[in-house]
Amino acid sequence: EAEVAQSPRYKITEKSQAVAFWCDPISGHATLYWYRQILGQGPELLVQFQDESVVDDSQLPKDRFSAERLKGVDSTLKIQPAELGDSAMYLCASSLGGDRTDTQYFGPGTRLTVL
Amino acid sequence: DAKTTQPNSMESNEEEPVHLPCNHSTISGTDYIHWYRQLPSQGPEYVIHGLTSNVNNRMASLAIAEDRKSSTLILHRATLRDAAVYYCILRDSNTNAGKSTFGDGTTLTVKP
């Protein structure tokens, strides 16, 4: 069964450093999502792509976070500079489209710890 | 976005049915109800979704109230592997239909 791949699985960094996460969605999925999940809370959408275009980035802290999906396939989420409050799980998900009936398939996540 | 309300936690015995409730009193007529669950140290996974009628699949059943202001996820025979956080989500076609707004979910504990 096809899966969403993410790397790295774990990342430890010091505050003010730059970090990057990579996501490879299920082949053929046009919609890609990045979520942030703080321990004990549900995931929060950071950015949503439809192919290579951003559909929703209203919750993305744009002063330090950036996301791209240049060829409409895999995607990179970057944080620069990282802050202590960025410690969280970063989840990538994909779906065939952005319809309200579409199933979202999640990757295993990247656990970020900022020291 | 329409909001959902779920109990923080529930307990069940293994091999017994579990009914997980969700209130969504501000649901609009075109919102779909989705359920996802998150096992420990994993990303969320899809469970089931519906609009008005009750739905069944191999994992669970979804019972939707006639006025659609609440729904119940039913696990017919809980196993230890069903211990997870269960999220009830509304997908709104009027804004970003693909967006899933997660609450804090219900943590289900299954006792052997």
What's the CA gap between B84 and B42, in Å, rounded?
Answer: 10
Phi, psi of B6 (to 5 degrees): -130, 150
Q: Which residues of B touch A47 (CB under 8 A)?
A: none
**pLDDT at position B1:** 60
**Average model confidence (pLDDT) across chain B:** 92
What's the CA gap between A93 and A42, in Å, rounded?
Answer: 14
Are the C-beta atoms of residues B61 and B72 closer than 8 Å to each other? no
CB contact under 8 A, A105 and B98: no
Radius of gyration of chain A (CA): 13
- Report CA torsion sign: B76, B59, B27, B89: positive
**pLDDT at position A70:** 85
Q: Checking DSSP bridges between strand B32-38 and strand A10-13, what pairing results, if any?
A: unpaired
CB contact under 8 A, A104 and B46: yes
Among A43, A108, A109, the residue with its CB nearest the CB of B102 is A43
Q: Checking DSSP bridges between strand A110-114 and strand A10-13, what pairing results, if any?
A: parallel
- Report CA torsion sign: A51, A102, A98, A82: negative
**Whether residue B90 has pLDDT greater than 70:** yes
Q: For residue A114, how far is the Cα from the chain centroid?
A: 17
Tell me the pLDDT band of B97, cut-offs 50, 70 and 90: low
CB contact under 8 A, B102 and A102: no
**Whether residue B29 has pLDDT greater than 90:** no
**pLDDT at position B46:** 96
- What would the DSSP string read from start to end of B55-109? EE-SS-EEEE-TTSSEEEEEESS--GGG-EEEEEEEE-TTS-TT-------EEEE
Q: What percent of chain A has pLDDT over 70?
A: 100
Query: Which residues between 22 and 41 in chain A have a beta carbon less than 8 angstroms from any beta carbon of chain B?
Result: 31, 33, 35, 40-41
Nearest Cα of chain B lies from the Cα of A86 at a distance, in angstroms, of 18
The verdict on A56 touching B (C-beta cutoff 8 Å) is yes
CB contact under 8 A, A101 and B96: no
What's the CA gap between A115 and A8, in Å, rounded?
Answer: 17
Write out pLDDT tens, residues A25-70.
Answer: 999 999 999 999 999 999 999 999 999 999 999 999 999 999 999 8
Q: Checking DSSP bridges between strand A19-24 and strand A75-79, what pairing results, if any?
A: antiparallel
CB contact under 8 A, A99 and B46: no
- How many CB contacts within 8 angstroms connect chain A with chain B? 67
